Amino acid sequence: MAIYNGLILLAQAIVYFTVMMGLLRARRMIGLGAFMCALGVLHFLETYLGSFFYVQVPFGVVTPGSVVFFAGKLLMILLLYIREDAMVARQPIYGLFIGNLLVVSLVLLLGLHVTTPLAGERVPDMDFIDEMGWLMVWGTTLLFIDGIAIIVLYERLGNWFGRHLGWRFLVSGAVVLTFDQFGFFLALHFLLGAPWDVFWSGWIGKMIATGVYTGLFIIYLRFFGHESQWLTNRSFKDVYAVLTYRERYKDLLETANRDPLTGVYHRRRYEEIAAQLLQENLGHGRPVSMMMIDIDNFKAVNDRLGHQAGDTVLISVAQLLESNLRSDDHLFRFGGEEFVLMSERLPVDGGISLAERLRKSILRHSEKHLSEPITVSIGVACAPEDGETLHALFKRADERLYRAKDLGRNRVCGPEVNVE
């Protein structure tokens, strides 16, 4: 029976590694969200199994929740870091921690209900759920510490093991999982009275799991990856900077790409990325809509009310445009009172519909909140119908913008469409 249980644990580790590595490998195609969700969805099961579900193996009593699933999750976070960076690797940990705090908070509120038993007079065990919630919070706190520690240790081991990824993976996993075993067992010992022999058998199980996952990782590199693509060898100082200051660096880059007045991307950013966005989408057979948006009679606003009022109008229009955009939309201040909006995966009808929604939103807002109504004229073009180059698309959108102006302003003009 003990050997049978050990083989089942091995099968679980193989299934877990295969599925998670498949999601990590496919992240460019299906997004990281699938990997993150799969990583987080097992957290309750890990904690439950780690608290109550134990099986006999040749070296003692272990739980799949700790030996297979938690060890696998920590090593997956390390692999996520290697393929992406420390900031991305921390995201699932943040999500788990906040989610577990939410569980505890909601359980406290659920405990205020007067419940009604159904068939069999079964009633909810709120004490059990509350206990599980606090264990999950503690486990995620440990995971946060473990995640930082395993990344730093993995990089430090590069000084000794160099290109031997297997040894770096194995040693960093073994050391950090040893620390984690102490931390989580203490909670089990004081909350549930877990005996010390469970600690030792659990530790042995985690060490074996680290070896199994390392072997699976080496097999993966042999058949599905190239070792050079997984090599990282930053100094400790560099790792610390990645862990602590990467967001500030990205914020600095983001700020440099934005117009200081309105906060949207500036024209230089348009010139850097617009052509690439267009070609990438056309290469995958996806349409792209471009909208030229111009504030009507803006010079008159400046002359009549002053440049400060003109700045207020620009900021308000930019904010309204941004608040109505999709995740696939890119807004640029092209110059003066003119904006360019590029919308990926948006055909002609969708582009005209979005442009009309933007026009109406700006008019309604200005009537309520500004000293006088502000309107915009919008010209819409769509690739590939109106051209497959950025120059051709821009030219058609600009022509339609001027047609909207000639027809009386405060309207949208697209391919054979004039909307008042």
CA dist., res. 201 & res. 209, Å (int): 12
Q: Residue 162's pLDDT band (boundaries 50, 70, 90)?
A: low
- Structure tokens that stand for 191 in this block: 């909350």
Mean pLDDT check: name the lowest of 124-128, 155-159, 202-206: 124-128
Stretch 372-389: mean pLDDT: 92
Which pairing describes strands 329-335 and 417-419: parallel, antiparallel, or unpaired?
unpaired
The distance from CA 163 to its chain's CA centroid, rounded to whole angstroms, is 30
67: which DSSP letter?
A: I
* 300 residue type, one letter: A
31-66 pLDDT, tens digit each: 888 888 888 888 778 877 877 788 888 888 888 888
Give all strands of the β-sheet with 412-414 in edge-to-edge order.
265-266, 329-335, 338-344, 288-295, 376-383, 412-414, 417-419
* 172 residue type, one letter: S
Q: Is 344 helix (H, G, I), strand (E, B) or coil?
A: strand
183-212 pLDDT, tens digit each: 877 877 776 677 777 788 888 988 999 999
Among 214, 144, 215, which residue's Cα sits nearest to residue 173? 214
User: Domains of the chain (ranges plus CATH)?
Assistant: 2-112+124-242 (no CATH), 260-419 (3.30.70.270)
Contact between 17 and 72 under an 8 Å Cβ cutoff? The reply is yes
Q: Residue 328 above 90 pLDDT?
A: no
Q: Residue 365's pLDDT band (boundaries 50, 70, 90)?
A: confident
pTM of the model: 0.55
